[in-house]
Amino acid sequence: MIYAGNFKTNHTRFSTREYINKLNLKLKDKNPEDKIYIFPPLTAIDNYSGNFTIGVQNAYPIQNGAFTGEVGIEQLDEFNIKTILIGHSERREILGESQEFVAKKFAFFQKMGFEIIYCIGESLEIREQGEDAVIEYLLAQFEGIDTDYNNFVVAYEPIWAIGTGRSATTKEIEQTHNALKKRVNRPILYGGSVKGENIAEIASIDSVDGVLVGGASLKVDSFLELVFHQK
């Protein structure tokens, strides 16, 4: 299983270091087959080491240059960052990233050899139209994406389940992941209100290869509860 924590606009450099120190104490006992990723905010990126991978929640598809407020490869290289989230619904919806731009980012970071966690997800309006509409909508989010790239993971995150406390049902996750697996031969994470109370059920779904977690990753103890959940 993959366990990825997305801090979004939470935590500072100081609190991230504290978090990672605590995480490291416990991760020595983790299942060697599990992989852990942490995505802190950009100002908290540092040279951390441990049994996990640090990635960024965003970067601009450029080496360096005149892109006010953005960071490129030059800044990521300083911290040896080689992992990035692309296509998160908050960037698509709030920051206005189009599928075209998301695909451009994907192609750039693919060329740079990054490991990409590629997020897709549907709104409640689409979900209410039924499974076929959901799949059609999700597949459109692979437009312009080289799904043969061997260093990317898909994160299926229904927008209506993100930060709402309402996770998709086991049946919805299973059906959607199974349909996606017919299109992409890559690991698929589920994201959307994953927490201590539902991790065992979600992790038991065959087509779930891991979880991308927002809220429940913010406290190290609740993130560890996911990593060390009982089956």
Closest contact distance (angstroms) between CB of 85 and ligand PEP is: 8
Segment lying near ligand PEP (by CB under 6 A), choices 21-29, 49-57, 136-144, 189-197? 189-197
Active site residue 177: no
Asked if 27 and 51 count as a contact pair (C-beta separation under 8 A), the reply is yes
Amino acid identity, residue 197?
E
User: Which CB atom, from 62 or from 229, has the smaller least distance to ligand PEP?
Assistant: 229
Place of tokens 């065992």: 200
User: Which CB atom, from 111 or from 166, has the smaller least distance to ligand PEP?
Assistant: 166
CA angle 141, 142, 148 (to 5 degrees): 160
- Could you give the CA distance from residue 72 to residue 74 in angstroms, rounded to a whole number? 6
Site for ligand PEP in 65-104 (CB under 6 A): none
Asked if 161 and 189 count as a contact pair (C-beta separation under 8 A), the reply is no
> Three-class SS of residue 131?
helix
Segment lying near ligand PEP (by CB under 6 A), choices 11-19, 110-118, 200-208, 213-221? 213-221
- Could you give the CA distance from residue 48 to residue 6 in angstroms, rounded to a whole number? 16
Binding ligand PEP (rule: CB under 6 A), the pick from 63, 64, 163, 171 is 163
Q: How many helices (H) and strands (E) does the chain have?
A: 9, 8
The size of the interface with ligand PEP (CB under 6 A), counted in residues, is 13
DSSP assignment of 50-66 equals: SSSEE-BS---SSSSSS
> Three-class SS of residue 19?
helix
Closest contact distance (angstroms) between CB of 109 and ligand PEP is: 18
Instruction: Confirm or reject binding of residue 214 to ligand PEP (CB under 6 A).
Output: yes
Active site residue 229: no
Segment lying near ligand PEP (by CB under 6 A), choices 50-58, 96-104, 145-153, 207-215? 207-215
Rg of the chain over all Cα atoms, to the nearest angstrom: 17
Beta strand ranges found along 63-151 (DSSP E): 83-86, 115-120
Binding ligand PEP (rule: CB under 6 A), the pick from 45, 103, 213, 224 is 213
Closest contact distance (angstroms) between CB of 77 and ligand PEP is: 25
User: Which CB atom, from 20 or from 213, has the smaller least distance to ligand PEP?
Assistant: 213
Q: Which of 90, 97, 122, 157 is catalytic?
A: 157
Q: Which of 11, 88, 122, 177 is catalytic?
A: 88
Q: Which two tokens stand for residue 11?
A: 């935590």
Catalytic residues: 88, 157
Footprint on this chain of ligand PEP (rule: CB under 6 A): 6, 157, 162-163, 191-194, 212-216
